[in-house]
Amino acid sequence: MEALLASAIGLLAAVGIYLTLRLRTFPVILGLTFLSYAVNLFLFTAGRLAVNAAPIVGTTDAPADPLPQALVLTAIVISFGMTAVIMIMAIGGHLQAGHDRIDLDEDKA
């Protein structure tokens, strides 16, 4: 099972990085989303895997590590906020520049 999850994390990260290397804002944002999927799962695995052991008192004696779960919650929320902001920035960039290329031409500054 660990191998399944590890390979999924690796794939999500790879897809994320590939997309962040694109030249338009939208795929880059998707890439960042994928990267955050990978990160969240990775952070989750820091607690090691456990099946049928939700950390709720009274339902189990050997709970899954609750702390990484709490950390992932925080990470999910934060990456949501970030995604929302970069999305509106992408809109703003497109509406102002007339295109959605991510590169800037610094020499034309």
Partner 1 sequence: MSLALIAALPFLGALLPGLMIRAGRNACAAATGAVTLLALILLALQAPAVLRGEIVQTRIEWLPALGLNANFFLDGLGLMFAGLILGIGLLIILYARFYLAKSDPMGQFFTYLLLFQGAMVGIVLSDNILLLLVFWELTSLSSFLLIGYWKHLPEGRQGARMALAVTGGGGLAMIAGMLILGNIAGSYDLTVILQNKEAIQASPHYLPALILILLGAFTKSAQFPFHFWLPHAMAAPTPVSAYLHSATMVKAGIFLMARMWPVLSGTFEWFVIVASAGLITMVMAAKIALFKDDLKALLAFSTVSHLGLITMLLGFGTPEAATVAIFHILNHAAFKAALFMTAGIVDHEAHTRDLKRLGGLRRLMPVTFAIAAIASLSMAGIPPLNGFLSKEMMLEEAAHVAWPNAWLVGVLATIGALFSVAYSFRFLAHGFLGPVRDDYPHKPHDPGFGLWAAPALLAVLVVLVGLMPNTMIGWLLNPAASATTGRGIFTNIYHWHGLQAAALWMSVAAIGGGLVLLGAYPRLRSLWDATPRPEAKRIFDGLIEPLADAARQVTDSLHNGRFSRSMVVAVVGIGVLATLAFLTATPHAPGTRPILPVDPLVLCLWLVLVVAAFAVPFLHRNRLVALLLTGVVGLLIAPMFAMFSAPDLALTQLSVEVVTLLLMLLALNFLPKETPVESRLPRRLRDAAVAGMAGLGIGGLAYAMMTRQPAFDRISAFHWAQSKPGAGGTNAVNTIIVDFRGYDTYGEIIVLGIAALVIYALSEALLRNPAVTARLASLPKEREAGDRHPMMLVVATRLLLPMAMMVGVYIYLRGHNMPGGGFVSGLVFAIAYLMQYMASGYDWSHARQRYDHHALIGWGVLVASLSGVGAWAFGLPFLTSGFEYVHLWPLEEFELATAAIFDLGVFLCVLGAILLALASLSRLALRTGEGPNTTAHDLEETR
Partner 2 sequence: MILPYALLFFLGCLTLAFALNLWRLFSAPTLTDRVVVLDTMTINAIALVVLYGIWAGTGLYLEVAVLFALTSFVGTVAYCKFLLRGNIIE
Partner 3 sequence: MNHWIIAPVVLPAFVAALMVLTLRGHLALQRIASLAAIIALNAIAVALLWSATMHGPEAYFLGDWPAPFGISLVLDRLSAMMVALLAVLALITTLYAIGSGWDAKGAHFHPLLQFLLMGVGGAFLTGDAFNLFVFFEVLLIASYGLMIHGGGDRRTRAGIQYIAFNLVGSSLFLFALALLYGVAGTLNMADLAAKLPGLPAGDAALLRVAAVMLILVFAIKGALVPLQFWLPGTYANAPGVVAALFAIMTKVGAYATLRFVTLVFPTDLPATGTLIPAFLLPAALVTLAIGALGILGATTLPRLAAFAAIASMGTAFLAIAHMTPRGTSAALYYILHSTLATALIFLVADLVSRRRAHLRLDAPAPVAQNGLIAALYLASAVALAGMPPLSGFIGKLLILDAWRDQAFAIWPAVLVSSFLMLLGLSRAGSLLFWKPSESEAVADPAPQEPLAVTAAFALFAALIALTLAAGPVTGWLDGTAASLHDPAAYIGANRLEVAP
Does 15 interact with partner 3 (rule: CB under 8 A)? no
Q: Contacts with partner 1 in 8-67 (CB under 8 A)?
A: 8-30, 33-34, 37-38, 40-42, 44-58, 63-67
- Any contact of residue 19 with partner 3 (CB under 8 A)? no
Applying CB under 5 A, the span of 18-26, 44-52, 74-82, 95-103 interacting with Na ion comes to 74-82
CA distance linking residue 54 with residue 76, whole number of Å = 19
R_g over Cα of the chain: 18
List beta partners, residue 96: none
CA atoms within 13 A on the CB side of 17: 7
Is 52 a binding residue for partner 2 by CB under 8 A? The answer is yes
- Sole window of 33-41, 44-52, 63-71, 96-104 interacting with Na ion (rule: CB under 5 A): 33-41
Say how many CA atoms lie within 13 Å of 107 toward its Cβ.
0
